[in-house]
């Protein structure tokens, strides 16, 4: 087997592996960019809280209005302490539906 054929075989084997790794890295980075640097901030906006929790902005506002989630108003902005958001999410887990309701 010539070295040229060997390099072609090697390229055919390695190329899909490298492409998959690059796509995975790009997807992981794009998720971090979408969420922004909110992972480091002590306070988050309603929009950021919705993205972190997977809830809608209106749902976050509803829980604030019901006084179930603490928030502070700073000027026109409403800010939520990250630790308060995490505590709220941990104290209100989603209950799984019994199997009899799923069939």
Confirm whether 29 is domain-assigned.
no
Confirm whether 24 is domain-assigned.
no
* DSSP per position, 44-91: EEHHHHHHHHT--HHHHHHHHHTTSS--EEETTEEEEEHHHHHHHHHH
Confirm whether 98 is domain-assigned.
no
Instruction: Give pLDDT tens digits for 78-98.
Output: 999 999 999 998 887 766 566
Confirm whether 3 is domain-assigned.
no
Percentage of the chain with pLDDT > 90?
A: 41
Confirm whether 10 is domain-assigned.
no
Confirm whether 15 is domain-assigned.
no
Instruction: Give pLDDT tens digits for 15-45.
Output: 888 888 877 777 765 544 444 545 678 999 9
Q: Which domain holds residue 75?
A: 43-91
pTM value surpassing 0.85: no
Confirm whether 70 is domain-assigned.
yes
Q: How many domains does the chain fold into?
A: 1
């Amino acid at each position: 087997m010539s070295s040229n054929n060997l390099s072609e075989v090697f390229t055919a084997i390695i190329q899909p592996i490298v492409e998959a790794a690059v796509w995975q890295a790009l997807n992981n980075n794009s998720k971090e960019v979408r969420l922004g640097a909110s992972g480091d901030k002590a306070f988050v906006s309603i929009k950021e809280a919705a993205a972190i929790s997977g809830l809608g902005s209106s749902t976050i506002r509803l829980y604030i209005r019901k006084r179930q989630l603490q928030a502070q108003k700073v000027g026109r902005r409403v800010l939520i302490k990250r630790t308060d958001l995490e505590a709220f999410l941990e104290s209100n887990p989603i209950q799984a539906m019994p199997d009899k309701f799923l069939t």
